Structure formats: C-alpha cells, structure tokens
Amino acid sequence: MTKYLRNTWYVAAESTEVANDDLFARRILNEPVVIYRLEDGSPVALRDRCPHRYLALSMGKKVGDTVQCGYHGMVFDKTGSCIEIPTQDTIPETAYTKSYPIVEKYNFLWIWMGDIEKADESLIPDFSTVTKGSTYDFRTADKHPQQWGYKYVRGNYQLMVDNLLDLSHVGFVHTSTLGSEESTRQHASGEQKQTGRIVSDYRLAVDVESPPAFAMMLPHLKKVDFWLDMHCSSPCNFLIEFGVTEPGKPREEGGPFTGFHILTPETEDTCHYYYGSTLQIDGISDEPIKKLGEAAVIAFDEDLVIIEAQQKEIQGGKFDDESMVALRADKAALMARRLLTQLIKEEEDSKERENDAIAKIA
C-alpha cells in the first residue's frame, strides 16, 4: 500500500479548471475532494462526501459561498460545517465534512492534505519561472511561447518520478523528438545532489548530434552541447531546464527551455500529470514551435506507454522491490526515494509523539 507524504502541497487543479459556478471533483491521495470558488473568487476544498448518506457533494450545487447536497439538501459552508438541514432545525454535531487548506499560486490550486495547522504557504515550490503570466526570463520571457498540458496517467506517481529523474530513457524512448543513444551515453555520467527537499539531476552531452526537436528549430546547429537539468521538489513537483547550444558556447546563446512536470497522486494506480514549458529563443517562427509542442505531446505519450506497462506488471507489488537492479543512472531517483521515505517517517514519528502527548493529558 502506498504511503503518501501528507504535510506538503499538491496541485489539485489548474486555476482555469475551477470556474466560478463549478463544483470541481477530483480524487487526491485516494480521497474525494470537491473544489469551488467563493463569490470573491477564492478557492475552497472540501471532502467530496456528504456526511448524511455519502453522496458526492460535487453532484449537488453551489449556492453563494456554500454547497448544497444534491440528495436531501443539506448545506455546507467553506469550513465544511453544515449550516442548514431543510427538514429540521437542529444540526447534529457530526454534520460536517472535512475542509482542506487550498492556495492559488502560479496558476495552480495547491492543496494541503495533511494537518491543517501545519499548512505553510512558504513550502509551495517556486514555479514562478514557468507559469503563465510569469515575468521571468533569461532575456524577455513574457513574449516567448508557452506550452501547457495535462495527462491522466494509469500508473502510480512513483513510476513517473523515476521516469523524470532518470532521463537516460530519453535516447531510447524519445528517439524521434528529444534524444539519441549517443547523447544518452554521455548523459549517464551526470551529477546528482540534494539540497533540502530538492533532488537535482544534471546531465550534459557534449558535441553530439542535435536532438530531432532542436534540429527542427535550430537547423544551423548540427552538433550541439545538450543539457538536461531536472529538479524534483519532494515528493513530485519538478522543474526542468534543458536546451542545446553550439558546442562550447554558453547556454544563454543556445535554446534554453524552462519547464515543469507536476504529479499528483490520485490513487495507488493512477495520477494526474501537468506539464508545460517556456521557450526562450528569439526569432523562431510559429511553425517549428507548433511542431515542437506536438513533439512534446508525442514524447509524453511515449512515457505513458512505458508507465502503464510497468504498472500492469507491478500491480499489487512494490515500486522499490529489492530484486530490481539498481543502475548508476538511477542515482537521483534513488536519492528522491530515500528523501521521501525519510519525510514520511518524520511525519509518522511526529504524529506518534503528538498522540502520545494527547494520551498522557487524557
């Protein structure tokens, strides 16, 4: 059974997915959640389950700042408390549903599935460099095109974490878009490091044939230095910087991208996957950029084929089975797993200490 880190921020939805009159339903860490906006636009997240007969609240309707259950009409406010029962005047103490801290930042709605009193907005990873409306740029970012997307993944989120932290698959899975075996062999000797809650994986291939997607945009560059720097903010929010430049030239002269990969566990076997990137090259016409966007989607679909096949094979088993062979290229993925195991353990220990303290008082 997958253990999740709970005291952390997960992306519950993209801002635009939750419209003003909507009740948006999503399962996160195996819990049903309904998200909606108050009249002033601020987001609310509640457990998507009416405490009366367990109908999903998202099947009801939004009434002003409240949600009315679609079965017998109980009304809940933004804290999850029932404030009205159409058929009686008294409200039982147990008539409430759970509420979750939720914050809108970087065009996403970030949800905290853990202890409410520990929700700390400063722990939301810094995605200012890639999100829509960002003013970031190497040079003049806001005029550069951005490509965003969402995929529903039929695989445990840890499989995607492994995938993103071991980009030695690029030369084998994404041969038509991002990689070649030649660059993969060089990328294998990259560096990995952990800084606080972030695991970084740096890969550089020097003087290799330009990957197909870059060759399309920058046809004058036959040979390139090709870098992929991935940063995983534990447990599953990633920033990536990648690009190519003429061999030996500084990165700023090449074609740098900044991108993000955001995973949110849905169930043991499925996750939500948001991706996007900002292209920071001047003077490229629309057509190759459009093609590049299409190539990115092809590449993500190629990953999903692998993930879903792994999930089928692993079904019910462990993702860190000791019989799995560990390779040099897995180093960042293994660092991320160790970090996550440690964070989950710390969370459990602190819960245990709190429970012990409560037991002593009682």
Q: Which is nearer to ligand FES, 74 or 178 (CB)?
A: 74
Asked if 162 is part of the footprint of Fe ion (rule: CB under 5 A), the reply reads no
Q: Residue 212 touches which of ligand FES, Fe ion, none (CB < 5 to 8 A by kind)?
A: none
229 versus 303: smaller Cβ distance to Fe ion? 303
Residue 206 C-beta: closest distance to Fe ion, Å = 21
Q: Considering the complex, what minimum distance in angstroms separates the CB of residue 89 from ligand FES? A: 16
The residue among 14 and 303 lying less far from Fe ion, judged by its C-beta, is 303
What is the SS3 assignment for 361?
A: helix
Segment interacting with Fe ion (CB under 5 A) among 94-102, 116-124, 206-214, 295-303:
295-303
Q: Binds 53, which of ligand FES, Fe ion, none (CB < 5 to 8 A, cut-off by type)?
A: ligand FES
* Residue list 312-341, contact with Fe ion (CB under 5 A): none
- Using an 8 Å Cβ cutoff, are 79 and 86 in contact? no
For residue 72, the number of C-alpha atoms closer than 13 Å in the C-beta half-sphere is: 12
**Cβ–Cβ < 8 Å for 187, 205:** yes
Helices (H) and strands (E) in the chain, counts: 6, 18
Angle of CA points 32, 37, 38, to nearest 5°: 125
> Per 3-state DSSP, what percentage of the chain is helix, strand, and coil (rounded to 5)?
30, 30, 40
Q: Which does 69 bind (CB under 5 to 8 A by kind): Fe ion, ligand FES, none?
A: ligand FES
Distances (CA, A) of 41 to 65, 99, 174, 318: 10, 17, 41, 42
Residue 269 binding Fe ion, by CB under 5 A: no
Q: CB of 24: closest distance to ligand FES in angstroms?
A: 18
CB of 73 to ligand FES, least distance (A): 6
**132, 152, 203, 289 from 147: Cα distances, Å:** 9, 17, 23, 9
Residues present in the chain in total: 362
Nearer to ligand FES, 92 or 219 (CB): 92
The residues that touch ligand FES, with contacts defined as CB under 6 A, are 50, 52-53, 55, 69, 71-74
- 71 binding partner (options ligand FES, Fe ion, none; Cβ < 5 to 8 Å by kind): ligand FES
**Rounded to an integer, what distance in angstroms lies between the CA atom of residue 305 and that of residue 42?**
37
Binding Fe ion (rule: CB under 5 A), the pick from 51, 303, 333, 337 is 303
Using the minimum distance from each CB to Fe ion, give the nearer residue, 119 or 170. Answer: 170
| Nearer to ligand FES (CB atom), residue 74 or residue 230 | 74
Among 140, 216, 145, CA closest to 178: 216
> Which option in ligand FES, Fe ion, none does residue 303 bind, with CB closer than 5 to 8 A by kind?
Fe ion
Which one, of 174, 196, 62, 56, lies nearest residue 126 by Cα? 196
- Between 71 and 319, whose beta carbon lies closer to ligand FES? 71
Cβ nearer to Fe ion, comparing 58 with 156: 156
Which residue minimizes CB distance to Fe ion? 303
Instruction: Determine the Cα–Cα distance for residues 318 and 268; give it in Å rounded to an integer.
Output: 11
Residue 74 site contact among Fe ion, ligand FES, none (CB < 5 to 8 Å, cut-off depends on kind):
ligand FES
Minimum distance from residue 294 beta carbon to Fe ion (Å): 16
Q: Are 275 and 148 in contact (CB under 8 A)?
A: yes
Backbone phi and psi for residue 53, each to the nearest 5 degrees, phi listed first = -130, 20
Residues at the contact surface with Fe ion, assessed by CB under 5 A = 303
